[in-house]
Amino acid sequence: MRDSPDPGLLDDGVVVAVEAAGVNPADLLQVAGKYPPPPGAPSWPGLEVAGRIVATGPLVRGWEVGQRVAALLAGGGYAELAAVPASQLLPVPDALSDVAAAALPEALATAWSNLVDVGGMQQDDVVLVHGGTGGVGSVAAQLAVARGARVVAVAGGAERAERLRELLARVPGSHEAVVVDRTSEDFVSACQDLGGADVVLDVVGAANLGRNVESLATGGRLVVIGLPRGRKGELDLGALLAKRASVHGTTLRARPAEEKAAIMAAVREEAWPLVVDGTITPVVHATFPFEEAQQAHDTVRAGSPFGKVVLVRHG
């Protein structure tokens, strides 16, 4: 812990007094020196927070000092104060705790931008979600079910698969989700039984590349958003061409402000109401005081969390 100058207030932004901050794999990469913050972002980690607005810029409309918000950041969330463009805020309802709210901005923005914007997910599409028990995956799978997709969600181990099955069963949708335990079941077969996946959301990387292509339906879209199990893999272009399929790779953090604003506007209009009415449930594995950020990172690194790990200002 160290002192730092208060963040500057943007003309079109706010300063948030942080009560809770989500921990993401990108934070661990940044600490390891493998994912530097974008130009202008603070040097310390933190991509999402929840708290109260303590200052607003002169161009800000519709947000007030004292209002509870959640926010998507380019960095700097592990702090008492965080500056954020107003376009990257979400209003937090009374029924949602700061801890729960802090677990959502990055996951919802990632899920929406990749399933809907990049993946073109439509109602009745078959959607394969890897890492279904993770911070992003658990939200992405719920979002897909709620929007009427036929979801195949992957978990590691029987107990985690059962917890994920129970989570998705609570989400009202047009189709019952299929949960695959990757330690004993085959996600390719599960997708093929449904006619192939129209969208695959992959958080794993190269290790899944070939089998993801096998899982795709004709015209399917593979969207890769994480690389923990490899950056390079062999791609069968013949299989890709035969299926008229496509592979996309995306990140969220380094996108221009206007792209983040568009994503968050869509999240606020289309996905946030599903949080407010309880359709989508934020999943929090554990909380740690800010002073124990290292222990929080160790928990994420171990690969065991079901949902998000969250730092809290008042432990």
Q: What is the pLDDT of residues 53-100, one digit of tens each?
A: 999 999 999 999 999 999 999 999 999 999 999 999 999 999 999 999
pLDDT in tens, 222-235: 999 988 878 899 99
Contacts of residue 93, defined as CB under 8 A and 6 or more positions apart, other chains included, come to 276
What is the pTM assigned to this prediction? 0.96
Cβ atoms of 74 and 82 closer than 8 Å: no
d(CA 200, CA 192): 13
What's the rounded mean pLDDT across residues 231-247? 94
Taking only the tens place, the pLDDT of each residue in 108-128 is 999 999 999 999 999 999 999
